[in-house]
Structure 1
Amino acid sequence: MKKVGFISLGCPKNLVDSEVMMGQLQQKGYEITGDAAEAETLVVNTCGFIDAAKKESIEAILEAARLKTEGKCKRLVVAGCLVERYREELRAEIPEVDAFIGTSQINDITTVADERVNTRQLPVLPLGNQTATYLYDERVPRVLATPGHYAFVKIAEGCDRPCAFCFIPQMRGHFRSRRFGSVVAEAKQLAAKGVKEIILVAQDSSRYGEDLGERDALAALMRELCRLEGVEWVRVMYTYPTHISDAFLDVLAEEPKAVKYLDMPLQHASQNVLRLMKRGGSRASLERLIGRVRERVPGLAVRTTFITGFPGETEEDFEELRAFVRGVEFDRVGVFTYSDEEGTPAFELPDKVDPKVASRRRARLMKEQSRISLRKNRARVGETVRVLFEGASDETDLLWQGRTGAQAPDIDGCVLINDAPEGRNPEPGDFVNVRITEAQEYDLVGRIV
């Protein structure tokens, strides 16, 4: 049985693609290995979003090429967003790669992994904006790369937004939703395997179903998923601020299994910068939006991301963003420095900001948020919270860890568990009650009660 190894980079949406490819290869008789050095076939699923991600992808491809030259690897396949973006350059510069497949060619993985197939000349389908059609469904085999208690479910693919900094529409194609029944059927299958938390992802989750002529489809989908036996939490990532409907918020407020968590990247708060980003809105309109969602869903945790150093961002614009963050007091914030991406509208903009200035602004904004986060966490000391137990801590074997509903995996903090009643040994995926005894900037500390 041939061993195949995967190196999956980038976002959870890309991870789902890797899981689907692993499922198809396993069905064909391949053995999936977590040790790249043992693999006879290696697949690198790349990210091409921003400069740092592209560099990480190139380094991973070069390391895989080294394993092909020096180790057991006989076949090297490169997939994903970087292929869509730089297919010809990659083909010319890295001859060790046997095949390149784009984001709409996931189903070709069993063909290109076969050593007998000459795939060096396999065409990478150009996406354009309306040509991509690929969507996986519940019939496609998947091998989960996440811990067994949670799984990402991709509900749509592609994006039609005109954001000036983003190349995703060219890499992923136009927005298209999966069928309602397909998503529910997949969630049922995952629950039957022991998955407790379903995390819905897409490039633009809040538009789910619009292209199928459905209104408030995301709200309806969430209500249906909350009724599934075995599912304990339903979470949505990547919503867009102009598409936060009352129906969606009502699900978060009313359904016990729908976690009170809103992931909504805002990118900036200055009207000037938002206009340049082609996103629209202003600080005042965003403050009204945050007020509305918090009023509609008491106890809601709001996560967002911002970009510092976008072309044309003045010190005044940045100070407005900082004041916005200070005033709104988000529960979770991620900040990226602007990445000047060729082929995006922002690449052509004048008034570029020095990268060092962008980095300093990022640090100042994160410092602002760390104070807010610590204050919010300290207010939780003494509370008893429901926690999804995840096992040994990533930091030390001396602690356990888990997450509250207000903490998404990988991107948010966690609950570090330092004590439990004698004889209590929970398993990953169990729910436990934890009394919070200590607060850190991003993590909570407590004991099982």
Structure 2
Amino acid sequence: MRKNQVDMITLGCSKNLVDSEHLIRQFLANGYKVQHNADVIDGEIVVINTCGFIKDAQEESINMILNIVESKKRGKVGQVYVMGCLTERFMDELKAEIPEVDGYYGKFNWKKLISDLGKAYYNDPMGGNRSITTPSHYTYLKISEGCDRTCSYCAIPISTGKHRSRSIEDIIKEAQTLVDGGVREVQLIAQDLTYYGLDLYKEHKLPELVERLSDINGLDWLRLHYAYPNAFPRDILRVIRERENVCKYMDIALQHISDPMLKAMRRGTTKAETYDLLHLMRAEVPNLHLRTTLIVGHPGETEQDFAELLDFVRDIRFDRLGAFVYSHEEGTYAYKHYEDNIPLEVKQERINELMRVQEGIATELNAQKIGQTLRTIIDRQEGEYYIGRTEFDSPEVDQEVLIKHTDGTPTLQVGEFYPVEITSADIFDLYGRVVNR
């Protein structure tokens, strides 16, 4: 066990990661050494930031807690603390089942951990309120917390509560600090970008926020994650089209397309409205790359509903697509009102078929990029390859550009942009070479 060392373990989404980065900065300001998601966990203090999204994520979090508690029993680590979405939902059960944990904290009261350790909580410590754990050239910027949606399947509002926007001034200040510290790419994140500003300003403020952020000198790429089709602020399309440093990329969670499923899911939109919005997006923003998320196996999903979903994916040809098998989550509308009546094997067959269709589309779309020269940021070097991304790809979740390091390849710097000609492609990645600037 290493004295005065904190091991921070973050599970789940990028919004959790931002919370961890705030806490890491507090530990550093109090004189601790901090490791994040290290291969070897041996700290005097271990903090696990959990995910409670669906059952698989819950099981991953619980297994991590049990593993660290076992390390504590063997004397390899000291105190163990658990925070995040899982504890927000299941605090009492966790305390009863795993009492060896030294302290449990929810999604929002984790700041109390610092005072419980007898340490000071600093405002704006060390010239910034976060310690970036991503590569130094990109990071995530959370603009709001919580969600006012009532989607049938979703437990997120149980953990996060009502939607609460940060002020534009506060977000601009943080973004400027990040850029001053070397960040060149910012991913805007929230449980729901679409509602940004409605609580504070009584109107949609996402377009104004993005415009003002795009004015920050040195911010090369600004990317939008987690929009909803219902009440979508359409003026954001103008901003994406007009501002060169706003990526031609939109992450919009659609979940399904058949009207019976959209109604059962309580999505507040229809098939026709969804098609209209997607067609508008592509008309307003040339070369816009769309990422979406879909759910299969929601209670009541028929073969006809699923066939409509497949036809929708073939028709729209999403550039990026993720999918989940429906999870019957305690506390949700679906848990209270629907029977989880789709067998697991049917759910699995459906998601496999859906992803086979998407893989074929992704292969075709990638092949169309061969011969194009795309501005590419270098994220890292792995073996004989430099690994980069275009503006159409978000870190961690999307495909990458692989540039082989050969005698003729110039030395590339992580965090820098290069013109890369795409020479070949497969389902998940592009391959290219740097061309003269």
**Superposition TM-score, scaled by structure 1 size:** 0.92
> Contact 1:380 / 1:436 at 8 angstroms: preserved in 2?
yes
CA distance in 1, matches of 2:348, 2:406: 42
CA distance in 2, matches of 1:114, 1:5: 18
- In structure 2, the gaps of 5 or more residues are none
Q: CA RMSD in A?
A: 1.9
Q: Amino acid of the residue matched to residue 368 of structure 1?
A: V
Distance change >3 Å, CA 351–CA 30, structure 1 → 2: closer
Does residue 31 of structure 2 align to residue 29 of structure 1? Answer: yes
Following TM superposition, by how much is the alpha carbon of 1:139 offset from its aligned partner in structure 2, in angstroms? 7.9
Which of 319, 332, 348 is equivalent to 2:307? 319
- In structure 1, the gaps of 5 or more residues are 116-135
> Contact 1:302 / 1:330 at 8 angstroms: preserved in 2?
yes
Between Structure 1 and Structure 2, how many residues are aligned?
A: 427
Q: Amino acid of the residue matched to residue 235 of structure 2?
A: A
> Contact 1:7 / 1:60 at 8 angstroms: preserved in 2?
no
Q: Amino acid of the residue matched to residue 360 of structure 1?
A: E
Q: Could you say what secondary structure the match of 1:42 adopts?
A: strand
Most deviating of 94-103 and 40-49: 94-103
Does residue 98 of structure 2 align to residue 94 of structure 1? Answer: yes
> Contact 1:419 / 1:446 at 8 angstroms: preserved in 2?
no
Which of 329, 346, 357 is equivalent to 2:346? 357
Structure 2 equivalent of residue 432 of structure 1: 418
Q: Amino acid of the residue matched to residue 31 of structure 2?
A: G
Q: Amino acid of the residue matched to residue 288 of structure 1?
A: D
Distance change >3 Å, CA 71–CA 427, structure 1 → 2: farther
Following TM superposition, by how much is the alpha carbon of 1:442 offset from its aligned partner in structure 2, in angstroms? 2.0
1:246-325 paired onto structure 2 within 5 Å: 246-325=234-313
Which of 360, 375, 399 is equivalent to 1:413? 399
Q: Could you say what secondary structure the match of 2:100 adopts?
A: coil
Q: Amino acid of the residue matched to residue 74 of structure 1?
A: G
Which of 48, 51, 55 is equivalent to 2:52? 48
Which of 418, 427, 433 is equivalent to 1:441? 427
Following TM superposition, by how much is the alpha carbon of 1:419 offset from its aligned partner in structure 2, in angstroms? 4.7
Following TM superposition, by how much is the alpha carbon of 1:64 offset from its aligned partner in structure 2, in angstroms? 1.1
Q: Could you say what secondary structure the match of 1:237 adopts?
A: strand
Following TM superposition, by how much is the alpha carbon of 1:38 offset from its aligned partner in structure 2, in angstroms? 2.5
CA distance in 2, matches of 1:61, 1:434: 43
Following TM superposition, by how much is the alpha carbon of 1:282 offset from its aligned partner in structure 2, in angstroms? 2.7
Structure 2 equivalent of residue 3 of structure 1: 5
Structure 2 equivalent of residue 219 of structure 1: 207
Following TM superposition, by how much is the alpha carbon of 1:420 offset from its aligned partner in structure 2, in angstroms? 6.4
Q: Could you say what secondary structure the match of 1:438 adopts?
A: strand
CA distance in 2, matches of 1:321, 1:217: 32
1:89-128 paired onto structure 2 within 5 Å: 89-113=93-117
> Contact 1:138 / 1:182 at 8 angstroms: preserved in 2?
no
Following TM superposition, by how much is the alpha carbon of 1:193 offset from its aligned partner in structure 2, in angstroms? 1.0
**Superposition TM-score, scaled by structure 2 size:** 0.94
Distance change >3 Å, CA 138–CA 152, structure 1 → 2: farther
Which of 59, 80, 84 is equivalent to 2:84? 80
Structure 1 equivalent of residue 156 of structure 2: 168
1:378-393 paired onto structure 2 within 5 Å: 378-393=367-382
CA distance in 2, matches of 1:325, 1:273: 15
Percent identical: 40
> Contact 1:263 / 1:304 at 8 angstroms: preserved in 2?
yes
> Contact 1:24 / 1:140 at 8 angstroms: preserved in 2?
no
Which of 368, 372, 375 is equivalent to 2:357? 368
Deviation digits for residues 30-54 of structure 1, max 9, x if unmatched? 1102445331100000000100000
Structure 2 equivalent of residue 152 of structure 1: 140
> Contact 1:271 / 1:280 at 8 angstroms: preserved in 2?
no
